[in-house]
Structure 1
């Protein structure tokens, strides 16, 4: 089983400079890939505003999606659909085509999160799905994950752009002093931003996913 990840740019048609946004997005993908768990296939643009990648398990995909939410600058947002299951490569004259239940589930997940964001949960950005024929425990895992993701996305949506940058730098291991210097503020402002946003809980959530204690 793997975690197939499909992402697209929220409201991409409304971006004032689509080409510039794409360059910024691709630069961010590179930096986040260095800070996130290793992927089986890196998250890369495919067609239009869509991106696809494959991760060895659900925690790796979840860490990547959160780090991207923190690292992307104001004005550029992604939504994510994660599909759990199997994939296979289909021979083609244009090279192997990746297909399988994980991709179909990822497509279902990203369609659901888009619908949810339009109605009950405007801050929703990430959902997980699996094949209908998957074992019961897999469906239970998806339900638990989605419950947590709705709360996580809501917490991230409430962060200011500066606080998102601060949390991302904290994950990279920067000290509050180093972050303050980079942001052009005093250290107490960094400490206050982390405390006000309950940033410690978000960082601990990332550590829980990666099994990191530091």
Structure 2
């Protein structure tokens, strides 16, 4: 059973420099994979404004997306459909085509997220869905409760605070982060506390503990 991710760029048609946006996304994806490797297939641009990737499990996928959301600069933002289920490859003259219930679930998840962003959850950036029989429905609901809360916190953080939270997720001390940012340790502490970053960091560590 795999966990697949389909992501798309929010407001891609309004971007002044689409090529720069793609470079920023590619750089953030590479940074996350270098700092916390775990993807079976790293998030890769496909067609238009989409990226797709594959992870061995839901914990790996959600922890990677936490880091990616923290790593992305203010200039670009993505939303993600996460699908759990079996996947396969259909041979074709142009090469293998990714196919299967896991991909269908991810597509359903991102379509659901589009609708919910318009109405009740404008700061949501992630949705989880599972193929029939691939996951306990309660577990899917719990996963979505987690990502809603995480996204709400991350979506209100400044770019600097996201960098600080990223560092804390990977074990950097507040003193180390202060030196990197050229601010005081108390400044780091205040920024993280005001943003509720401790909840994001601790949840990330819990996810990584089951990987």
Calculate the TM-score normalised by the size of structure 2: 0.95
SS of aligned partner of 2:32: helix
Give the structure 2 partner of residue 28 of structure 1.
28
Give the structure 2 partner of residue 45 of structure 1.
45
Calculate the TM-score normalised by the size of structure 1: 0.93
CA deviation after TM superposition for structure 1 residue 37, in Å: 4.4
Q: Aligned partners of 1:195 and 1:45: how far apart in 2?
A: 35
Give the structure 2 partner of residue 113 of structure 1.
113
Q: Aligned partners of 1:71 and 1:51: how far apart in 2?
A: 16
CA deviation after TM superposition for structure 1 residue 177, in Å: 2.1
Cα RMSD of the aligned pairs, angstroms, is 1.4
- For residue 156 of structure 1, the aligned residue among 154, 160, 181 is 154
Give the structure 2 partner of residue 172 of structure 1.
170
CA deviation after TM superposition for structure 1 residue 98, in Å: 1.3
CA deviation after TM superposition for structure 1 residue 36, in Å: 2.9
Q: Does 1:77 align with 2:105?
A: no
CA deviation after TM superposition for structure 1 residue 17, in Å: 1.1
- Unaligned segments of structure 1, at least 5 residues: none
Aligned ranges 1:46-195 → 2 under 5 Å: 46-131=46-131, 133-134=132-133, 138-195=136-193
Runs of 4+ aligned residues of structure 1 deviating over 3 Å after TM superposition are none
Give the structure 2 partner of residue 15 of structure 1.
15
> Alpha-carbon deviations, 1:160-206, whole Å to 9, x = none?
11110111122233222221122121121001112222222211100
